[in-house]
């Protein structure tokens, strides 16, 4: 009951100011969450194109994509030197091309497995 009387003594201008202050903090917090967690997932800038979150981890842990992108003379290793210089890093388009080739290969293998299963039955 005493809390109600305390709010009753506050003027309307002060009450509106407090509400606006609280709402502004809420908007700032929501904006930070949006930028950090929703927009921040894109590894390719603000292009609007979003890869799955595990693509970066897969790229760093897998030598397959590096071997596919490097010339045959280098053996596929980015650590090897060629004439005293490191091989240039693959571009994002090359990574996308490798991902697309893997995707198509997976589809081909699934179709092959399905056809084999259907032939057995």
Task: For CA atoms 55, 60, 65, 66, give the dihedral sign.
Answer: positive
Question: What per-residue confidence (pLDDT) applies to 51?
Answer: 53
Residues of the chain with pLDDT under 70: 1-8, 39-84
| Alpha-helical segments (H) within the chain | 2-9, 12-33, 55-61, 64-69, 92-120
pTM: 0.29
Which pLDDT tens digit goes with each residue over 94-111?
A: 999 999 999 999 999 999
Question: What per-residue confidence (pLDDT) applies to 10?
Answer: 76
Question: What per-residue confidence (pLDDT) applies to 54?
Answer: 57
Question: What per-residue confidence (pLDDT) applies to 7?
Answer: 64
The SS3 call for residue 86 is: strand
List the Cα angle 58/64/69 in 5-degree steps. 110
């Amino acid at each position: 009951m005493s809390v109600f009387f305390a709010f009753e003594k506050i003027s309307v201008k002060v009450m509106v100011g407090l509400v606006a202050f609280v709402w502004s903090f809420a908007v700032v917090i929501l904006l930070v969450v949006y930028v950090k967690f929703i927009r921040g997932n894109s590894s390719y800038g603000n292009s609007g194109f979003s890869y799955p979150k595990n693509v970066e981890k897969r790229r760093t842990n897998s030598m397959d994509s590096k071997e596919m992108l490097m010339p045959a003379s280098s053996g596929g290793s980015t650590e090897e030197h060629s004439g005293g210089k490191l091989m240039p890093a693959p571009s994002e388009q090359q990574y996308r091309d490798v991902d697309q080739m893997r995707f198509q290969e997976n589809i081909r293998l699934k179709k092959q497995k399905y056809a084999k299963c259907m032939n057995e039955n």
